[in-house]
């Protein structure tokens, strides 16, 4: 997992070209004005999901990871906590190939607080639980780029 802010992208020059492509897309397009839903950039290789939801307690959220796609979370509005762990430290449930969704149960090893402009890159070994309240419930709008690996 990689945690950073869009204002400091020059520090991440070594990342994969497909990840840098997502950052460039974010700079060139007004994602905050995009409607909720899936927006295809390059078919199934690269697309962005625009989500809006209200943050809540960890008990009301779920753990997940993905096998075929990287997740690049970019916060557009609001704030949220994302809990993190490694998949090999979690109790894995049945993988859902059609959704590239690996549900699991366990405890957090770390957390990050995302505020507008922050990003989090999650690789297949990175379990994540999103949408957790920081102080008070907040409406979040974010882009999640999906990059086929």
Tell me: the pLDDT tens digits for 90-112? 999 999 999 999 999 999 999 99
- DSSP letter at 62? -
Assess contact for 107 and 116: CB atoms under 8 A: no
Q: What is the mean pLDDT of residues 75-96?
A: 98
The domains of the chain, with CATH numbers, are 2-148 (2.60.120.370)
> Taking Cα atoms as reference points, which of 22, 14, 18, 16 lies closest to residue 6?
22
> Taking Cα atoms as reference points, which of 63, 147, 52 lies closest to residue 111?
63
Question: Is pLDDT of 49 > 90?
Answer: yes
Mean pLDDT, the chain, rounded, equals 97
pLDDT of 13 reads 87
Tokens of 90: 């979690």
Sign of CA dihedral 98, 101, 13, 141: positive
Question: Is pLDDT of 12 > 90?
Answer: no
Question: Is pLDDT of 135 > 90?
Answer: yes
As a whole number of angstroms, the distance between CA 72 and CA 102 comes to 16
* Confidence band for 85, pLDDT divided at 50, 70 and 90: very high
φ, ψ of residue 98 in degrees (nearest 5) = -60, -25
Q: What is the mean pLDDT of residues 71-83?
A: 98
Sign of CA dihedral 89, 50, 2, 66: positive
pTM of the model: 0.95
């Amino acid at each position: 997992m990689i945690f950073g802010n869009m204002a400091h992208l020059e520090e991440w020059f070594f990342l994969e070209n497909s990840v840098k492509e997502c950052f460039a897309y974010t700079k060139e397009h007004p994602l905050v004005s995009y409607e909720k839903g899936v927006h295809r950039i390059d078919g199934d290789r690269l697309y962005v999901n625009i989500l809006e939801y209200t943050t809540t307690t960890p008990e009301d959220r779920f753990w997940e990871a993905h096998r075929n796609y990287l997740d690049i979370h970019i916060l557009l509005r609001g704030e949220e906590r994302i809990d993190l762990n490694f998949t090999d430290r979690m109790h894995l449930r049945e993988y859902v190939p059609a959704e590239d969704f690996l549900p699991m149960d366990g405890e957090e090893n770390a957390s990050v607080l995302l505020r507008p402009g922050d990003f989090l890159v999650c690789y297949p070994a990175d379990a994540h639980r999103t949408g957790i309240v920081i102080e008070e419930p907040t409406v979040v709008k974010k882009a999640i780029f999906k990059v086929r690996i």
